[in-house]
């Protein structure tokens, strides 16, 4: 039996390192989405549109109906209706985008040796950059191609407010930077050491 390498992992080190970077990026991105969605929900409450409104805004590029209804109900001071399917869709989309953001950060900082305050500052800039790239560029491009009203695309800034929107994404990036450095995501051997002759017998 050939000797095992890379902490007992028989896979090639380069391949294992690539897989570990993907795992770290996805897990860090998903974990960082939790405080992000909580801040977005808080922003919805503070603006008076409700905790679910930000997620209606996120999914509005696919189905603007719940968002439009919420805006009308709030403007008319009527009891608001909860749209569970659209809320779940918007929430799920947040986690998907968070995982993508985590992957970008993982591979963008793969060769960088940045620690301490600078790493968290870089994380904050990453979160805000992702917000600008997705929100100000990506969504507008999709809206233009799909013929969607730009007001619907920009509705998230209305339902949570720009300060909370920027804060939520900065926290998103900071948490990614923290989780990426945590011991929870350090590489672990996937196979034990080879058995000796006595143990194998």
- Whether residue 3 lies inside any domain: the answer is no
Closest CA to 29 of 191, 136, 167, 177: 177
Closest CA to 164 of 37, 18, 7, 8: 37
- Whether residue 201 lies inside any domain: the answer is no
Residue 192's φ and ψ, nearest 5 degrees, are -75, 175
Host domain of residue 73: 13-186
Closest CA to 58 of 70, 76, 75: 70
Q: Cβ–Cβ contacts within 10 Å for residue 193, how many?
A: 11
- Whether residue 192 lies inside any domain: the answer is no
| pLDDT computed for residue 38 by the predictor | 97
- Whether residue 197 lies inside any domain: the answer is no
> What's the mean per-residue pLDDT of the chain?
82
- Whether residue 116 lies inside any domain: the answer is yes
Instruction: Look up tokens 């953001």; give the residue.
Output: 101
- Whether residue 62 lies inside any domain: the answer is yes
C-beta of residue 37 within 8 angstroms of C-beta of residue 92 = no
pLDDT over threshold 70, residue 190? no
- Whether residue 143 lies inside any domain: the answer is yes
Mean per-residue pLDDT, 153-170: 87
- Whether residue 191 lies inside any domain: the answer is no
- Please list, in sequence order, all residues whose beta carbon lies within 8 angstroms of the beta carbon of residue 94, skipping any fewer than 6 positions away: 33, 36, 37, 40, 55, 58
**Alpha carbon distance 180, 2 (integer Å):** 33
| pLDDT computed for residue 11 by the predictor | 54
Per-residue confidence at 6, pLDDT binned at 50, 70, 90? very low
Q: Cβ–Cβ contacts within 10 Å for residue 183, how many?
A: 5
| pLDDT computed for residue 200 by the predictor | 43
pLDDT over threshold 60, residue 194? no
Per-residue confidence at 199, pLDDT binned at 50, 70, 90? very low
The tokens describing 194, both together, are 């080879």
The count of structural domains within the chain is: 1
Estimate the share of the chain in helix, then strand, then coil, as percent rounded to the nearest 5.
70, 0, 25
pTM for the full predicted model: 0.80
């Amino acid at each position: 039996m050939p000797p095992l390498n890379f902490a007992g992992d028989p896979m090639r080190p380069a391949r294992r390192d690539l897989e570990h970077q993907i795992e770290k990026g996805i897990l860090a991105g998903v974990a960082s989405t939790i405080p992000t969605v909580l801040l977005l929900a808080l922003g919805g409450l503070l603006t008076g549109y409700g905790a679910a409104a930000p997620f209606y805004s996120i999914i509005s590029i696919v189905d603007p109906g719940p968002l439009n209804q919420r805006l009308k109900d709030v403007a008319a001071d009527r009891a608001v209706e909860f749209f569970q399917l659209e809320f779940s869709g918007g929430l799920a989309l947040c986690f998907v985008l968070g995982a993508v953001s985590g992957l970008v950060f993982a591979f963008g900082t793969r060769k960088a040796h940045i620690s301490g305050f600078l790493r968290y500052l870089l994380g904050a800039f990453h979160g805000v950059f992702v917000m600008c790239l997705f929100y100000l560029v990506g969504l507008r491009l999709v809206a233009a191609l799909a013929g969607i009203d730009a007001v619907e695309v920009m509705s998230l800034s209305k339902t949570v407010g720009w300060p909370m929107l920027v804060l939520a994404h900065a926290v998103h990036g900071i948490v990614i930077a923290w989780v990426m450095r945590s011991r929870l995501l350090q590489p672990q051997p996937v196979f034990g050491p080879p058995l000796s002759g006595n143990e194998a017998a």
